[in-house]
Structure 1
Amino acid sequence: MTLVRELVRTYQAFETFAIPDIRHHGFNPAEFDVLVTLGNTPGMTLTELGDSTLLFKTTLTSVVDRLQKKGLVNRVPCQEDKRRTYASLTPEGERIFEAIFPAHIEHLKSRLGKIPPRQRDRLVKAMRELRSHLEV
């Protein structure tokens, strides 16, 4: 349980540090995740978007709906396969992405950037190894 406890505490510490900055930009974490995932892309299917975000697929539709109502995301049916829908940022969504994403990266770097590169590489390797034991 020591490993699980430390994993949870680490994630909670990350959220405590990162989420206020996301909220400062006017988004909740799920909306921010979709916005930055679609940023700098021509768009992607909702399936691809679900696979690329940290969201449960059941949450994705409502998040995309909210961003669409805010005028930040477009939804376009695929002409070749009516079962597929593409999501992309609107020009306003792109403008917001370009304004807030670099600022958020700088916010993260203010703490995570202090970790020496070799130690950061070891941490990434350890987390990937841990994930490999959890994935089916």
Structure 2
Amino acid sequence: MSQMNFLPTRRTLVSAYQAFERYSAPDVKAMGLTTTQFDVIATLGNQLPMTCKELGDKTLVTKGTLTGVLERLEAKGILERKLNPEDARSQMIGLTTAGKTLFEKVFPAHLQHLEKAFSKLSEKEFAEVTKSLRVINHIFSN
């Protein structure tokens, strides 16, 4: 495939992601959170506490960014860090009671917001988009 052939696809991919962010981010911001904070809270919701590495692997947040986000969420009383009983060099991160309450409020509300957009796709279109995105993810992950 020549360079000129994939450039429109690249542009479409980036444009689609940017359009998603323009739709998603204001809803999260209206909840008083950044998209990164929301991602962390959504990942920790209804889960047992996990290590920073596990949290980083399950979110789209880089390690450097994650540290600052965790500090801010801890300062707000949304999450807590405890020593990992299995490895004292790491910490277990989990939601506080206030964090769980916040998760139960913001997570379903944001899913409802996203569903308004995704419901415009037929089941077949949704399956095709999902399959295509998995293929793209795979080719860039190797």
Which TM-score bucket, shorter chain as reference?
A: over 0.9
Equivalent-residue separation in structure 2 for 1:68 and 1:77 (angstroms): 15
**Residue 19 (structure 2) aligns with:** 13
Unaligned runs of 5+ in 1: none
Q: Report the equivalent of 1:28.
A: 34
Instruction: Report the counterpart of residue 65 of structure 1 in structure 2.
Output: 71
> Per-residue deviation at 1:134?
0.8
Letter of the 2:74 counterpart = Q
- Looking at structure 1, the residues matched to 41 and 119 of structure 2 have their Cα atoms a distance apart, in angstroms, of 23
Q: Distance in 1 between matches of 2:31 and 2:20?
A: 17
Deviation at 1:58, TM superposition (A): 1.2
Distance 1:80 1:128 in 2: 34
Partner of 1:91: 97
Which residue number in structure 2 is paired with residue 135 of structure 1? 141
Task: Render the CA deviation track for 1:33-57: whole Å, top value 9, x for unaligned.
Answer: 1011000112111110000001111
Query: What letter corresponds to residue 119 of structure 2 in structure 1?
Result: G
TM-score (normalised: structure 2): 0.93
* Structure number, greater radius of gyration: 2
TM-score, length-scaled by structure 1: 0.97
Percent identity among equivalent residues?
39
